[in-house]
Copies of this chain bind each other. A is one copy, B any other.
Amino acid sequence: MTKDLTLAIDAMGGDAGPEPVVEGVALAQRNGLKAKVLFFGDERKLKPLVNEARGLSDVEIRHAGNVVSMTDKPMHVLRRGRDTSMWTAMSAVESGEAHAVVSGGNTGALMAVARMQLKLIEGIDRPAITALWPTMRGRSLVLDVGANVEADENQLVQFAIMGESFFRTLMGVEKPTVGLLNVGAEDLKGHELIRTAARVLREADPDMAFEGFVEGNDISKGTVDVVVTDGFSGNIALKSAEGAARLVGGWVREALQGTINAKFGSLFMAPGLRKLKDRIDPSSNNGGVFLGVNGIVVKSHGGADARGVASAVNMAAGLARQPFRDEVAETVKAVMRRRERMGAPTASSDKIKEAV
């Protein structure tokens, strides 16, 4: 990371307002982030927070008088949201002033604003949202987790290419493994279009370490680095897993606090339990990236605390200066050309509705 990195931060978008956002940036900087930070939002609210925050350096406040609310329709924001902190922060990326933007605002609006201002990468039909997922072997990437309710076979192929390139960039893994999420039962080998996508990836992208189909439980196992699926299944997989993790976490708490003996016993386990708590803590994996637009856009969870914001900001910084967009555009072009020569059935794109 070089010193002249600039990040645009939508300081107003999160559920709790600007406080955890400013705190999160300060935390990231105290922990070594070297970047100039532009805070977009209400100057009167931001100034005292910026002045108070410990360890903040090299920041600027850019006044934006309006905020996108969680219930604003994307269309409404596109038409009348040019004075919002979200829009103006995105503009800083569009103009080249900032290398990446982080926002905790309304996902649909952020996606619409990103597409409108940054445009899609050449050859990409739809953007996808990523999630980093803790696994038994480290972390895996899942996409799409909610940009589109459906995806045809070409879009799944594009998601795979983007996800692979992204994972290589973010995690420094030379040849990430990729799998398509499917159901396992022998007689339900999944939808036709998933099977076509698998065939295209296998035949038209020889450089990819494509491992075929994976199932829901493979995500947490870490069977592959990149798990590709449509936004409906990805969202359901992610939220079902979160729910189950929280359920088991609750059971663990009960087991530890059940009796005086248990409480006493747990004293001896303090280091292990602290590690366990950190692992279950969702803030360490905060930050969904919008892949497919010409620029780095990181969606922070609306309810993220300062630690969560810091993790999203660090992710933005890690991605901001990488040649990742060109790689994606080139690979997609090459794969789609080969795919046409394969004569695989074409996407029935009229069946697919767009979300945003």
Contact = CB atoms under 8 A, between A and B. Distances in A.
B256 A272 contact: yes
B247 A136 contact: yes
Contact of A262 (B249, B272, B351): B272
A203 interface: no
A326 to B, nearest CB: 30
Contact of A272 (B111, B134, B254): B254
**Interface size range of chain A in the complex:** 35 or more
Interface in A188-221: 188, 190-192, 215-221
Interface in A228-278: 229, 231-233, 235-252, 254-256, 258-259, 261-262, 264-269, 271-273, 275-276
B146 A231 contact: no
A304 to B, nearest CB: 16
Contacts of A246: 217, 220
Interface in A42-101: 70-71, 73-74
A247 B71 CA distance: 35
A15 interface: no
A275 B259 CA distance: 13
A244 B244 CA distance: 6
Contacts of A353: 192
Contacts of A184: 235, 239
A186 interface: yes
Given A259-B272, A264-B265, 15 more contacts: A71-B186, A108-B185, A136-B250, A146-B188, A183-B235, A185-B355, A187-B355, A192-B353, A217-B242, A221-B243, A241-B244, A248-B252, A254-B272, A256-B269, A266-B269
6 contacts: A107-B185, A184-B235, A217-B243, A232-B233, A236-B237, A240-B240
